[in-house]
A and B are shown apart, each in its own frame.
Chain A
Amino acid sequence: MVELNRPLRWAVRLLVLGYVFLLVAWPTLAMVRQAFAGGVGKVTALFGQQEVQHAFLLTGQVAVQAVLINLVFGVTISLLLVRYEFPGKRVLSALIDLPMSVSPVVVGLALLLVYGPRTGWFGPTLEHWGVQIIYSGTGMIMATAFVALPLVVREVVPVLHEIGDDQEQAARSLGANFPQTFWRITLPSIKWAVVYGVVLSLARCLGEFGAVKVVSGNVIGQTQTATLLVESQYHAFAQQSAYAISFVLALVSVACIVVVSLLRPKEGH
């Protein structure tokens, strides 16, 4: 630890606190105030509306399915990246990070290019078989899963590196086959990384906007998620309800992270 002298220490603290306040705390507080500007009654009335309820339900369904898919693939990919050597490993690793660096709107457009029902590369064939991806739940889940793909992998990979494969080798030498080793040894060791990755993904999926907007078609009462509803309410000059919906979205995400930090065992127990 570097020892700073007292005035410098205070200056650094002030700088950091000021930065976080201006960037995060103040805007969030302002949003909460706006959400409740018309009183609590108006907010509860808003959530009585069918279109709002449907938007939240859809958001939940899409997010949960996308997270489950990412959980399975994320853990599998992590094991592949850490425990095995194969040609193209670095390419795969770079591809995993792609969704982090590419704007979600681009992701949506890319999916449209491949799966679009009329002009897509693969879409018309699927349409012919009666499978619709774009403008349906499937497309929205795909877009959301794409965007949140790196979160589980990037949580799990460093932990897998850290625990090494000693324990897995020991389990194998004691007679455990691959599934037994995975369920009894590997998974319990990476449990908290997986939980953390899932929660981050969930928070990310609930808030996904750009990619979903492109592939969903934004049909009210059908493919309109909570974030899309926020936008349409805002443009319809219903700012207060836009803020109220935003507030609930933010609340759920914060709750996710709080729950995990409570569940997570203290470091170095």
Chain B
Amino acid sequence: MSIEVRNLTKTYPSTSGSSEPFVALDDVSLSLPTGQLTALLGPSGGGKSTLLRIIAGLDTATTGSVEIEGVDATSLPPQRRNVGFVFQHYAVFKHMTVAKNVAFGMEIRKRPKAEVRRRTQELLELVHLGQFADRMPSQLSGGQRQRMALARALAVEPSVLLLDEPFGALDAKVRKELRDWLRRLHDEVHVTTVFVTHDQEEAMEVADEIVVVNQGRVEQVGSPDQLYDEPANDFVMGFLGDVTRLGQVRLRPHDIDVAVQPGAAGAHAGVVTRMLRVGFEVRLEVEPDGGGGAVSVVLTRSHAHALDLELGSRVWLTASIGAVTIPAMAAV
């Protein structure tokens, strides 16, 4: 195991007013194998960044221990943990050139000059910034700065690479590019990587394994498929995708079959009250006859067309075969 986190708890003294201390992490234990790309996924303020920063040594835990590559790192300062850290807002050294930024860790370690120069150039090629070596960071775009920060973190050959919302400050298109690129980079470099994100699509697309963190606790650990197909609880199901309620179960809107005439046993009859087309998909809201709140349904545009759906259509809804369902709580 590359990273072993045991019974980690982090509390902050209460801010003025409440007497209860704020619990950022509540008895978290986690083990992450060597070479894996892991996502810490959860809503903002759920404790995932705190967990990452404690692994890096940038924050200290109230209780619990952190082990990196078999060494107890709980009380080691960050500079002795051999981790690479990438910050959401890049944290570039503004007064240094791109090459100097990347070389920083190696110069601190007093590597021979020739080696530093060669490796800096290699890393800049790796992140496609080969021709920007002599620029200042202020002359780079956000995506380029983050790639530089990544090269800088990789330069010290860390045993663990930690990324804190690495694409959070970038626009949607660059974000998507960097995401693919991070996946490919990881396949090339194979360093144990943990990244924090609140974007479930990002986590599902990039990570080998996802750790869902909410309110200071680990809700579920598993591969993207496991999490999507077998969510451990309501929260994980809701966080990984849209959820709607059909009769006594909760399920995903695209896991509902729509028919325009009765037939299937146990079908819920209702009327289409809203219809919205977004790109290739059509989102419906169906008011069931028995009441109980509108049901969201998603189907492809061509399917909706084939069924000749429109506002006010009568439809019969059933859960698809193999749909992931969990029992609905009483009184939602």
Q: A175-B79, A175-B109, A180-B108 are in contact. Are A170 and B95 (CB under 8 A)?
A: no
Q: Is the CB of B87 within 8 A of A172?
A: no
Q: What's the least CB distance linking A186 to chain B, in Å?
A: 11
Instruction: Check B262 for interface membership: any CB of A closer than 8 A.
Output: no
Q: Is the CB of B91 within 8 A of A176?
A: no
- By a CB distance below 8 angstroms, the chain B residues around A174 are 79, 84, 104-105, 108, 152-153, 155-156
Instruction: Check A171 for interface membership: any CB of B closer than 8 A.
Output: yes
**Could you say which interface size class chain A belongs to?**
10 to 19
- By a CB distance below 8 angstroms, the chain B residues around A171 are 93, 104
Instruction: Check B21 for interface membership: any CB of A closer than 8 A.
Output: no
Query: How far, in angstroms, from A167 to B96 measured CA to CA in the complex?
Result: 12
Q: Is the CB of B78 within 8 A of A172?
A: yes
Q: A175-B108, A176-B79 are in contact. Are A167 and B85 (CB under 8 A)?
A: no
**Could you say which interface size class chain B belongs to?**
20 to 34
Q: Which 4 A-B pairs have the closest CB atoms?
A: A166-B91, A174-B105, A173-B85, A170-B91
Q: A172-B58, A175-B105 are in contact. Are A167 and B79 (CB under 8 A)?
A: no
- Of all chain A residues, the one with the shortest Cβ separation from B58 is A169
Within 8 A of B (CB), among A59-105: none
Chain A residues within CB distance 8 Å of chain B: 163, 166-167, 169-177, 180, 184-185, 188-189
- By a CB distance below 8 angstroms, the chain A residues around B155 are 174
- By a CB distance below 8 angstroms, the chain B residues around A188 are 95
Within 8 A of A (CB), among B93-140: 93-95, 104-105, 108-109
Q: A175-B79, A175-B109, A176-B79 are in contact. Are A167 and B104 (CB under 8 A)?
A: no
A-contact bits for B144-157, CB 8 A (1 contact / 0 none): 00000100110110
- By a CB distance below 8 angstroms, the chain A residues around B156 are 174-175
- Of all chain A residues, the one with the shortest Cβ separation from B84 is A173
Q: A174-B152, A189-B95 are in contact. Are A169 and B87 (CB under 8 A)?
A: yes
- By a CB distance below 8 angstroms, the chain A residues around B85 are 169-170, 173
Instruction: Check B83 for interface membership: any CB of A closer than 8 A.
Output: yes
**7 sampled A-B residue pairs with Cβ under 8 A:** A170-B93, A172-B58, A173-B83, A174-B105, A175-B82, A176-B104, A189-B94
Query: How far, in angstroms, from A166 to B152 measured CA to CA in the complex?
Result: 14
Chain B residues within CB distance 8 Å of chain A: 56-58, 77-80, 82-85, 87, 89, 91-95, 104-105, 108-109, 149, 152-153, 155-156
Q: Is the CB of A177 within 8 A of B93?
A: no
Query: How far, in angstroms, from A163 to B58 measured CA to CA in the complex?
Result: 17
* A166 partner, pick from B79, B87, B153, beta carbons under 8 A: B87
Known: A170-B91, A185-B93. 10 other contacts (CB 8 A): A167-B94, A169-B85, A169-B87, A170-B149, A173-B79, A173-B84, A174-B155, A174-B156, A175-B109, A176-B108
Q: What's the least CB distance linking A55 to chain B, in Å?
A: 41
Q: Is the CB of B91 within 8 A of A167?
A: yes
- By a CB distance below 8 angstroms, the chain B residues around A189 are 94-95
Q: Is the CB of A173 within 8 A of B56?
A: yes
- Of all chain A residues, the one with the shortest Cβ separation from B85 is A173
Query: How far, in angstroms, from A230 to B42 measured CA to CA in the complex?
Result: 70
Query: How far, in angstroms, from A174 to B83 measured CA to CA in the complex?
Result: 8
- By a CB distance below 8 angstroms, the chain B residues around A175 are 79-80, 82, 105, 108-109, 156
- By a CB distance below 8 angstroms, the chain A residues around B105 are 174-175
Q: What's the least CB distance linking A228 to chain B, in Å?
A: 42
Query: How far, in angstroms, from A175 to B152 measured CA to CA in the complex?
Result: 12
- Of all chain B residues, the one with the shortest Cβ separation from A176 is B108
Q: A166-B89, A180-B108 are in contact. Are A173 and B95 (CB under 8 A)?
A: no
Query: How far, in angstroms, from A185 to B94 measured CA to CA in the complex?
Result: 9
Q: Is the CB of A169 within 8 A of B91?
A: yes
